[in-house]
Amino acid sequence: MKIAVTGKGGSGKSTVSGALCRHLAQLGHRVVGVDGDPNPNLGISLGVERELVETMEPILNALIAIGHTHDDPTPDPEDLLARYGLDAPGGVRLVATGKIERPTDSCLCCGSHMTTRQFFGELGDDDRIVVADLEAGINDLLWARPGPSDVVLVVAEPSAKSVEIARRATDVAVDLGVRRIIGVANRCAGGDDLARMTESIGAAEMIVVPEDPAIGHADHLGRAAYDLDPASPALVAIGALAEHLVRHPAPEAAPTD
Ligand SMILES: Nc1ncnc2c1ncn2[C@@H]1O[C@H](COP(=O)(O)OP(=O)(O)O)[C@@H](O)[C@H]1O
Ligand SMILES: [Mg+2]
């Protein structure tokens, strides 16, 4: 299974992705966490020590450093994962696609998008779950290009801007043929907020992750809430999402005549 996590900046993508990876690993699955953000920080939400996250070499930066050019053969994603991935807590394999460090690295954006596509498109998922924490906005969803057998998590917090981007992300995922689109109403208290978010986002399924001080506290310390307070309400909700995902794989395609 491959899961693309999309939504506006600040909506909670990395929080949800990190905790989801840890819960899925705890359920016994092999998990690869792909950090598609050119300002990568999924590692923190996964529970990797901050110093280690900072020393991690994203794929594109590593390829540029060894003189790889567009004329060279495209590296095998499996090889990239082995070479540049990092073993995160819980047995999750973490890989970052690219990091912007200097003005001269401006081509990284395009390059790391390509890496995201390659990882999402080519990495085998027969015996593992790939969770891609995508760059903010919808552009990276187009690059990742999830398909009918993939899952898209559209994360939004209750603000109108966040919900509007989530709505468009859902439309894009539908147009890409994704059959399993789950809206994540993050920091949502339920009631009217949930009704509004559900209607606007338009995803077939909707789950709520409540506002939870444990998330802010963990972020403040640069730690994963999963390690500090796994029984906190948001973590429990993301755990329920993990169980739901593995129990109910993407629906079968409708029969064609
Ligand atoms: N359920 C939640 N309860 C409280 N704070 C949250 C929750 N989800 C996210 N946050 C906070 O919102 C901010 C953005 O979250 P983050 O996961 O980094 O978003 P994104 O990856 O979409 O940019 C962080 O400061 C995080 O601590
Ligand atoms: Mg993020």
Rounded distance from Cα 49 to ligand 2 centre (Å): 16
Mean pLDDT of the 184-188 span:
98
In a domain, 66, yes or no: yes
Rounded distance from Cα 102 to ligand 1 centre (Å): 26
Burial 5-29 (b: 16+ CB within 10 A, else e): bbbbeebbbbbbbbbbbbbbbbeeb
Q: pLDDT tens digit string along 121-130?
A: 899 888 999 9
234 Cβ closer than 6 Å to some ligand 1 atom = yes
9 Cβ closer than 6 Å to some ligand 1 atom = yes
Q: Of ligand 1's atoms, which has the minimum distance to the CA of residue 209?
A: 1
Please give the residue range of the domain that contains residue 75. Answer: 2-247
Nearest CA, atom 17, ligand 1: 12
Round to whole Å and give the CA distance between 237 and 128.
22
In a domain, 227, yes or no: yes
In a domain, 255, yes or no: no
Mean pLDDT of the 33-57 span:
93
15 Cβ closer than 6 Å to some ligand 1 atom = yes
Q: pLDDT tens digit string along 50-81?
A: 999 888 999 988 888 888 877 788 889 999 99
3-class secondary structure, 47: coil
Instruction: Mean pLDDT check: name the lowest of 5-19, 50-64, 131-145, 154-168.
Output: 50-64
219 Cβ closer than 6 Å to some ligand 1 atom = yes
In a domain, 170, yes or no: yes
184 DSSP β-pair partners:
155, 207
In a domain, 257, yes or no: no
The domain total for the chain is: 1
Q: pLDDT tens digit string along 241-252?
A: 999 999 987 666
CATH number at residue 39: 3.40.50.300
Q: Of ligand 1's atoms, which has the minimum distance to the CA of residue 16?
A: 17
Closest CA to 30 of 213, 246, 201: 246
Rounded distance from Cα 10 to ligand 1 centre (Å): 6
Q: Which class for 48: exposed (0-12), middle (13-18), buried (19 or more C-beta within 10 A)?
A: buried
CA-to-CA separations, 206 to 82, 103, 170, 188, in angstroms, rounded: 35, 40, 12, 12
User: Other C-beta atoms within 10 Å of 65: how many?
Assistant: 9
Closest CA to 241 of 157, 173, 188, 182: 182
In a domain, 24, yes or no: yes
Q: What is the pTM of this model?
A: 0.95
Radius of gyration, alpha carbons of the chain = 17
Contact present, 46 and 22 (Cβ < 8 Å): yes
Round to whole Å and give the CA distance between 130 and 77.
12
In a domain, 174, yes or no: yes
